[in-house]
Amino acid sequence: MHHSPSISSPSRALAALILAGASLLSGGCLNPDPVGSTSDTDAASASATDSAASASASGTATDSAGETEGTTGGGGEQTTGGAIDPNADDELLFQQALALYNAADYAGADALFVQLWDTYPNSPRRDNAGYLHGRCLYALLDFAGAGPAFDAIIAAYPASVFVDESHYFWGRALFRLGNFGGASGHFDASLSADPMGTYADNAYYYGGRTDFELGDFAAAQTTLASFESKYPGSSYADNAAYYLGRARFSLSDKAGAKIAFSHVLDFADSIYLDNATYYLGRSEYSLGALPAALTWFKDVVAKYPGSVYEDNALYYEVRIYVDQVDCPSANAVVGDLQAKFPGGTYTVKAQDYAIAGGC
């Protein structure tokens, strides 16, 4: 739904014409954040946690300064009522700043957006500059500073077309800071400000994600289960399916989790392919379907070398072989773990499980 910014008002349409020459990046659905502190638990094992620091070969979720979800929702909307004079000093300053922003020179652009905000209080670009000031700070990973910037534009221009986007990125900044409760309110506010906004699907998804990170798996399941019907074609569909599976897994609905994780595999370019494959194995293991689980865990190792879940998958291979009283195979996988992950948590757990199982 939102691979590119949408223009939903006459002012947005006008802005699109004004900025026809500007290079607008794609809209905001390509860089989901890493999981926070939430991890899955199973009575048979320790928890496995996604981590941005453990990026897999298949692309474990990351959110970097180079992936800032596009430029703006249109790039240059005016909402303060004044006509834009293309030769006015404030407009020339804004276009200079916007060019730097589009070139990913966020530090350079930010200084000029702040200059416009401070120097031209009546500029028709002032709300836009304030919003992009916040976006620059977000792109520079100054999440603590981004919040006050978005707060300032919302307070000064409550009717601005950038209110929904400001709330959305304020929520994203708080999410990155681990303040999931605070983030949730801003995702809700973004949707309230413009239910059809550029980032509406993103905000709805992150509403479910914050519920997941807060441990409210039932609420996360409710939100994420309806995501694809609300936003068909959104590039967050695979993300939503994956965390729907995680929520169901945490609610001990392993059969329902399998359905969600299997759907993730429908998205060939999803960054969650290795994660979903691993959790398919976990779901089958919890249901007692050991041969099916073993197939999924082997797929993690074979198809996604370097995955954040590779050691976890090997550990479960050991468990299955021990459970099946196949000690030669169990010991062979323990050897693989020792070679690939010497001294690792799951290496030690696999060794302990094999010994306890008589292998």
Between 255 and 59, whose confidence is greater? 255
Look at residues 326, 313, 305, 251 and name the one whose alpha carbon lies nearest to residue 285: 313
How does residue 80 score in pLDDT terms, banded at 50, 70 and 90? low
Give residue 284's pLDDT. Answer: 97
Residue 121, Cβ density class (10 Å: 0-12 exposed, 13-18 middle, ≥19 buried) = exposed
Whether residue 13 has pLDDT greater than 70: no
**For residues 167 and 189, is the Cβ–Cβ distance under 8 A?**
yes
Whether residue 49 has pLDDT greater than 90: no
Give residue 35's pLDDT. Answer: 30
Whether residue 76 has pLDDT greater than 90: no
Give residue 269's pLDDT. Answer: 93
> What are 153-192's pLDDT values in tens digits?
999 999 999 999 999 999 999 999 999 999 999 999 999 9
Residue 324, Cβ density class (10 Å: 0-12 exposed, 13-18 middle, ≥19 buried) = middle
Look at residues 186, 121, 182 and name the one whose alpha carbon lies nearest to residue 157: 121
Whether residue 359 has pLDDT greater than 80: yes
The span from the CA of 225 to the CA of 260, in Å, is 9
> What are 307-318's pLDDT values in tens digits?
999 999 999 999
In order of their start, the domains of the chain are 1-45+62-77+86-266 (1.25.40.10), 272-359 (1.25.40.10)
Give residue 83's pLDDT. Answer: 82
Per-residue pLDDT averaged across 185-201, rounded?
96
Distances (CA, A) of 185 to 145, 175, 188, 290: 18, 11, 5, 42
pTM for this entry = 0.79
Give residue 81's pLDDT. Answer: 52
Q: Which two tokens stand for residue 61?
A: 């979720």
Per-residue pLDDT averaged across 231-259, rounded?
96
Per-residue pLDDT averaged across 41-69, rounded?
30
Give residue 6's pLDDT. Answer: 27
Q: Which of 58-67, 144-153, 304-313 has the lowest mean pLDDT?
A: 58-67
Q: Which two tokens stand for residue 35?
A: 């999981």
Between 11 and 86, whose confidence is greater? 86
Q: Would you list the DSSP string of 99-115?
A: HHHHTT-HHHHHHHHHH
Per-residue pLDDT averaged across 257-279, rounded?
97
